[in-house]
Each structure stands twice: as C-alpha cells, then as structure tokens.
Amino acid sequence: MLFLQHQQQQAIAEMAKLLAQQVAQVPGPKSNAISSRAAAEPGVWPYDPNSSFKDGEQIISLNNGHQMRIDDILYGYDTLFETRHLFSVGSWLGVQCQQDPSDATVIQQIVWDVKPRVIVDIGTNVGGSALFFAHIMSAYAEPGQAIVLTVDPKMFTDNWDAAAKNLCPKCTFAGDSPLWKKYVQFHQGLSLDKATLEAIEAAIAKYGGPVLVSADGDHNYETVLNECRALHKYVTKGSYLIVQDTKLDRLFKKPQSRAAARQFVQENDMFVVDKSREWPMYSHHTDGYLLRVK
C-alpha cells in the first residue's frame, strides 16, 4: 500500500513538473502594466500609476502564501478579458451584450435607482446595451412612458468585433425582440449632429425625466470630452453620465475616455466621479460613473 502511494506521489510530481514546463513555454499576452523587476527583489510588484481600479494600490495576502496588489489581480483578469474577447461571448435575453458582468450589475443598479424616463445610449453596435436598458426600464415603466434612444452612425447590425459571431453563435437580432419594439428608438447619426441633439430633446420633451446618458461610442479623447460637454445638460440631478470603456487609456497607452471624463469633471462642478459604483472592483469604466450633484 505504501509502495502504491509512493508511486502515485511520484506520478503526480512528474505531471506537475511537465505542466509547469508547458506553461512556461506558452507566451503570455503583452501587458501594459509595469513588466520588469529584479528576480531577487522580494515582495510584490510596484504599484502601476496607470491603474484606476478602486483600492488598486492595496496589497492582499492569499492563502497560498503569495502577496499581490489588487491592481495586479484585476489588471491580470482584464488582460484575459481582452485577449480572449470575453466581451463578445455574453448575451442579454439572447442578444449579444458586449458589457462585462460586473459593470452590467452596476449599471442595472443605477438604472433601477434613477428610473430614467429617457436613456440616451451613444454607441449602438449590435444593440445589446439598448436591449439591456430596455429590459430594466420595462420593470418600472409601461411602453409609451419611457424610451431608450440609441444612437450610432451605422446600422446596429454592424459588429466591430470580427470574432463576435463565432463567440456567440446563438445570439439573435436585437430588432426582433419585443422589448426593442416597445422601448427602443434607433437614431442613425453622429452623437453631436444637430439631428441627434434634436432627437434627444424631442424624447425628453415627450417622456420627461429623469434622464441618463451613456457615452459608449467613439472612445477617443476629443470625441468623449465633446460629448460630455454637449450632453451633460440633459442629465438630470441625481442621475448619471456614464463614460464607458475608460480602461482603454491604459490599454492603448494614450488619453482616451478616462482622461476625457477626468478633464470634464475638473471643469464642471455639477458632476463628481462616483467611485462607490465601482464596488465590484473590476470595472471597464473606472472613473467613468459621473453623478450629477448640482
């Protein structure tokens, strides 16, 4: 019996050694985080100043004896999320919804707390976010009482992720959903076109407030900052201007949505960054939940 146990232990050890060798040979994804330190340096990786995760600088002890910064854990997962295109795997009521589960939960809570009569959804893509908004809206408003105005210069059947169909083969067309037909109005145009602003104002005139705006279209710095400057006036006090995908600043190593959100808050004291909405800690929209307080 002891001999068999010894053989089993040896076999397990050999398997573990082989697996470790195989893992070491697999090239990992490129990371934009700090990527070098002396091999003999004790402790954890130095804090990456590009981090914007809530409590990212804090160090925690794991039960395997390792110590890690919260930022390294969250950014490591974010790297997997990007390299494996996990944003295109999930769906909401059968329609592809390119929102990570953590932020989807937070945004659901915001919509339920605010109960907006008008949601301006900038960036339609395949329509998943609009349907997501519509589903929550349907729980507090009857058809004809509230609207999701979703805006994009292209038809929402145009998916920017080439791998999306393979990653969600059972996903269905957003426009076929009964919720879409009852709660969603698609406006084709640029976010700051005169016709778009007129459509927003017409929706507010018809349905009233509260009003929530989600900026999830073109994520470059200038566009997002201009959207914040132009669209913030429609957001009612106590509601939100959600600047999405602020993570791209770090990913692309240049000012994008996050820098735009920060600049906007600096020049406009009617809004504050609501870090309490980042309670899951992992978020694509860090510093992007902008609460109107005045």
Domain count, the chain: 1
Q: Where are the beta strands (DSSP E) in the chain?
A: 59-61, 67-69, 91-92, 95-96, 118-122, 147-152, 184-188, 211-215, 240-243, 271-273, 289-292
**Model pTM?**
0.83
CB of 196 closer than 8 Å to CB of 151: yes
227 domain-assigned: yes
Q: Within a domain: residue 6?
A: no
End-to-end CA distance of the chain: 75
Residue 194 lies inside a defined structural domain of this protein = yes
* Local confidence band at 139 (pLDDT 50, 70, 90 cut-offs): very high
| Residue 118, in any domain of the structure | yes
- The verdict on residue 77 lying in a domain is no
Considering only residues 88 and 51, tell me which one the structure prediction assigns the higher pLDDT. Answer: 51
- Rounded distance, CA 188 to CA 2, Å? 74
Cα 147 to the center of its chain, rounded Å: 22
Q: What is the mean pLDDT of residues 264-276?
A: 97
CA distances from 125 to 78, 116, 188, 204, 217 (A): 22, 22, 11, 23, 9
Residue 31 lies in a domain: no
Q: What is the CATH number of the domain that holds 228?
A: 3.40.50.150
Give the tens place of pLDDT for each residue, 190-215. Answer: 999 999 999 999 999 999 999 999 99
What gap in Å lies between CA 74 and CA 247, rounded to an integer?
A: 12
Q: Which residues contact 67 (CB under 8 A, 6 or more apart)?
A: 43, 44, 59, 60, 61
pLDDT for 11 beyond 50: no
**Residue 75 above 80 pLDDT?**
yes
What is d(CA 130, CA 186) in angstroms, rounded to the nearest whole number?
9
pLDDT band, very low/low/confident/very high, at 88 (cuts 50, 70, 90): confident
Is the pLDDT reported for residue 159 higher than 80? no
pLDDT at residue 44, as a whole number: 81
Task: Taking residues 224-237, report their average pLDDT.
Answer: 98
For residue 104, the model assigns a pLDDT of 97
Q: Is residue 280 part of a domain?
A: yes
Q: Does pLDDT of 12 surpass 70?
A: no
Q: Which domain holds residue 126?
A: 88-292
Tokens of 277: 């909405």
Residue 59 lies in a domain: no
274 burial type by CB count under 10 A (0-12 exposed, 13-18 middle, 19+ buried): middle
Query: Are the beta carbons of 236 and 210 closer than 8 angstroms?
Result: yes
Quote the percentage of the chain above a pLDDT of 90.
73
Checking if the pLDDT of 112 tops 70, the result is: yes
166 falls in which pLDDT band (50, 70, 90)? confident
Q: How far apart, in Å, are the Cα atoms of 251 and each of 203, 210, 258, 264? A: 35, 34, 11, 21
- 52 Rama sector, left if φ>0, alpha if ψ -120 to 50, beta otherwise: alpha
C-beta neighbour count of 57 within 10 angstroms: 13
Cβ-contact 98, 88 below 8 angstroms: yes
| CA quadruple 175, 179, 183, 189: dihedral, nearest 10 | -20
